[in-house]
Structure 1
Amino acid sequence: MMKISSLCRPLWYIALLFAVSCAEEQDFDQFNNLSIIPEVSSSIFYFESDEGTINAAGGGTFYEQDFTFEAFNEPFVSERVVNGTITYQIENTTSKPIAASISFLDNAGTVLDTENFAIGEHPFPLLERQVAYGEGGKSLDILRNTTLIKVTGENLGDASSTSSERTPVIIIRSSATFSLELR
């Protein structure tokens, strides 16, 4: 009997320690406080025009095109976007100074916003511009309501000069990164 009681005594102490130890109550509702904000990146448009096409159009507008923009057509996306950045990159190896504009239009054709670019002739360094939307930037409603993006290129130079580059072109490309709050 003595052996059994001496073996039970340590178990009794361990049970007592568990009973009086500090234990925090578990909170299984933490999932409700979890915030998931992934970033989604995508190309928006790519435009390229060679110097011959620019010369053939003469002075003035040599390019104008509308691009469908459906990124925010789904309520799931438009209601959850927190912020975003659109990045524009422009390269010009032509002998022409170029004016470019990128306009954001809604369903009714109303211009919601425009980005204008003045691009010098070659040698012109790569131009990169980032435009923020959301907190600290332009209104997210611009993007939420955009259905078309209009890109226009205008020759500000003559219609005959040619660059010494092998294949002179102007390239305008854009991409976007958006943060969506899923919870």
Structure 2
Amino acid sequence: MKSNFISRISKILLLVFMFSSCSSNLDFDQVNDFKITPVFVANLAYFNVPATQLINDGDAQIIYDVSEFNAFKDKFFRDNLKKAELDFEVENTIVRSFILDIVLLDVNNQVLETDSYNVPAYSGTSNVIKFPTEVFENQRLDLLKKTARLGFIVRMDGGPPLDANSKGSLKLRSGATIYMEIE
């Protein structure tokens, strides 16, 4: 009988404890202060041009390619983008120097901006060049948002002739880091 009484008291106390809780007023206005700042990292462009595709008699030569850049077609993305950083790395194992131009083009193929990078000739040692990060903020970010195509112009400086037996390649790797702010 004593154990039955203790059991009942324990159950009552447990129920009282479970149904008594602390509460506070809820502030639903906190949702107005909600802000997230995601960061995305993505590959931007890549190419690998072997020396055998650059056959010439030693004169300067130009190679040109344009890629669609649809990143800013989405209004949500355009409206919430706060900063972008573009990184470019070139590896040259060809015995010629190059100038790499990266051209930002709008929907009418009008040049918005051109960034040029000097790539030295291969001399037998590692020739990987990581260029300074291109940062797009404020007015420059507005310019990037207007970009519809990326143009790549590779200008080969004068030097030894290249033929079907020429060794090496010119590689470009690039990436983008995108900073957004969503409120």
TM-score bracket, normalised by the shorter chain, equals: 0.7 to 0.9
User: TM-score, normalized by length of structure 2?
Assistant: 0.76
Deviation at 1:114, TM superposition (A): 0.9
Q: Distance in 2 between matches of 1:54 and 1:105?
A: 25
- Structure 2 residue aligned with 1:51: 51
Correspondences of 1:1-183 after superposition (within 5 Å): 26-56=26-56, 59-123=59-123, 125-129=127-131, 130-134=133-137, 139-160=140-161, 167-183=167-183
Q: Distance in 2 between matches of 1:57 and 1:160?
A: 5
For 2:135, give the aligned amino acid.
Answer: A
Determine if contact 2:59/2:158 at 8 Å carries over to the other structure. Answer: yes
> After TM superposition, what 4+ stretches of structure 1 lie above 6 angstroms from structure 2?
none
Deviation at 1:90, TM superposition (A): 0.6
Task: Call closer, same or farther: CA 1:116–1:182 in 2, change over 3 Å.
Answer: same
Deviation at 1:50, TM superposition (A): 1.2
Is the partner of 2:175 in helix, strand or coil? strand
For 2:82, give the aligned amino acid.
Answer: V
Q: Distance in 1 between matches of 2:162 and 2:45?
A: 28
- Structure 1 residue aligned with 2:17: none
Query: Which consecutive residues of structure 1, in runs of 5 or more, have no partner in the other structure?
Result: 1-22
Determine if contact 1:54/1:159 at 8 Å carries over to the other structure. Answer: no
Over residues 57-110 of structure 1, what are the superposed CA-to-partner deviations in whole Å (9 max), with x where a residue is unaligned? 853334210000000011111111010100001111110011110100101221
Q: Distance in 2 between matches of 1:111 and 1:58?
A: 30
Is the partner of 1:37 in helix, strand or coil? coil
For 1:147, give the aligned amino acid.
Answer: A
Query: Which consecutive residues of structure 2, in runs of 5 or more, have no partner in the other structure?
Result: 1-22
Determine if contact 1:98/1:157 at 8 Å carries over to the other structure. Answer: no
Q: Distance in 2 between matches of 1:43 and 1:57?
A: 35
Is the partner of 1:32 in helix, strand or coil? helix
Q: Distance in 2 between matches of 1:160 and 1:57?
A: 5
- Structure 1 residue aligned with 2:10: none
Task: Call closer, same or farther: CA 1:28–1:57 in 2, change over 3 Å.
Answer: farther
Determine if contact 2:95/2:160 at 8 Å carries over to the other structure. Answer: no
Determine if contact 2:66/2:152 at 8 Å carries over to the other structure. Answer: yes
Deviation at 1:52, TM superposition (A): 1.8
Determine if contact 1:61/1:152 at 8 Å carries over to the other structure. Answer: no
- Report percent identity of matched pairs: 21
Deviation at 1:170, TM superposition (A): 0.7
